[in-house]
Copies of this chain bind each other. A is one copy, B any other.
């Protein structure tokens, strides 16, 4: 063959989402972590590794295999086919997921409305892909917001309409104003994305009244609520309000589920509950779940049945209760949360300089700190190098490049010792920074 010009591309010929700050955020934060492997990291919202056990995982697969044997009356060919062949697009543990939702959350759904996905991120993508028909369709999101939401919306070119989220959560009145303004501008707010319990990054939770108010608004203004619930299990032991989905009376809520924190992160299994009925305009109706499955069939075909077996076996081992399965983890996260809060109070006493503030969430993985100076990516790199501690600049969750005077601390994957040393380093960094 003849030598043509070099095949190199330029970024301005690739999809615009690749320029989106959300995509850069994920990348940049991974890079900083990789560049400072020995720093103590308050950056990654990863599950605790203390109970990781490969033999237990193998046991989960065996347990699910036995479950299939019983289901198929001992037919080993069917067992092997179910685990090793291409499989059902909507998944093979949909029934176990539905039972788990009934046991843990009193959510009552038809297993056929469950689509098992490659983590919650794929659940989010397929839902947004379905809802974004043209440029008028928009998604209402809290600001600050988990960057994966911004990213999935970017892939389908769905504009975001922000509502402010503080550590007290989002304000239903603002949601109503924002939705009306979007409609007045010719846009169609198709859904509100919300984490009702211990949101990322704010740690905020919504009380029952706010949840019911938002459900009313969804009905009044014809939008869906996309409820993402990765942290609800990790509470402080006091009674929680019901999830949006448990309160949902007229199928306004699409429920996004993750097993990354409660199951096994390395299985990459999540799901979406979409029991909405979709009319085909010719008299027929189907579940929204079936439309989402059509999208999934063109994206990942089906979720690895071997990966599903890990989660299925864990559900079987715990009588379908992820709350029961995660009691040890819940205690660790609560201990870490209290240790971070107490540690901050000891290092930054009220009324003293430098003035550092923080919120007090009741659960989840995150605490947000207010600092007396803007803390962006450059300062993060600086802090990692000179003080050996990592955190997440909050501007990433606002989809903006300018630094804010806020950072997010994740405490989920740290040990007690790491938290103590990490907070010491963080305090030294803040003092040093304020002294310059």
Contacts and interface: CB of A to CB of B under 8 A. Distances in A.
A346 B154 CA distance: 56
B276 A9 contact: yes
A176 to B, nearest CB: 14
Contact of A252 (B4, B121, B130): B4
A173 to B, nearest CB: 16
A349 B26 CA distance: 63
Interface stretch (A210-218, A321-329, A361-369, A390-398): A210-218
A305 interface: yes
A47 B133 contact: no
Given A216-B4, A267-B306, A300 B118 contact: yes
Interface string A143-163: 000001001101110000000
Contacts of A118: 118, 268, 300, 303-304
A27 interface: yes
Contact of A10 (B2, B80, B83, B281): B281
Contacts of A330: none
Contacts of A278: 8-11, 14
Contacts of A44: 86
A260 interface: yes
A80 B65 contact: no
Nearest to A147: B298
B80 A52 contact: yes
Contact of A222 (B5, B57, B298): B5
Contacts of A57: 83-84, 306
Nearest to A253: B7
Interface in A81-100: 81, 83-87, 89
A303 B23 contact: no
9 tightest A-B contacts by CB? A4-B219, A151-B298, A268-B304, A7-B251, A84-B266, A118-B300, A52-B80, A8-B277, A304-B307
26 contacts: A1-B247, A3-B219, A6-B251, A6-B277, A7-B224, A8-B279, A8-B285, A11-B280, A12-B281, A17-B295, A22-B298, A23-B297, A27-B294, A30-B89, A49-B85, A53-B80, A54-B79, A54-B84, A58-B61, A86-B265, A118-B303, A125-B299, A148-B301, A155-B298, A266-B304, A268-B302
Given A49-B84, A85-B266, 14 more contacts: A1-B216, A2-B216, A4-B250, A8-B278, A10-B281, A15-B130, A15-B156, A16-B133, A18-B294, A52-B81, A57-B84, A155-B299, A267-B304, A267-B306
Interface of A: 1-18, 22-23, 26-27, 30, 44, 46-47, 49, 52-54, 57-58, 61, 65, 77, 79-81, 83-87, 89, 118-119, 121-122, 125, 129-133, 148, 151-152, 154-156, 212, 215-216, 218-220, 222, 224, 247, 249-252, 260, 264-269, 276-281, 285, 288, 291, 294-295, 297-307, 310
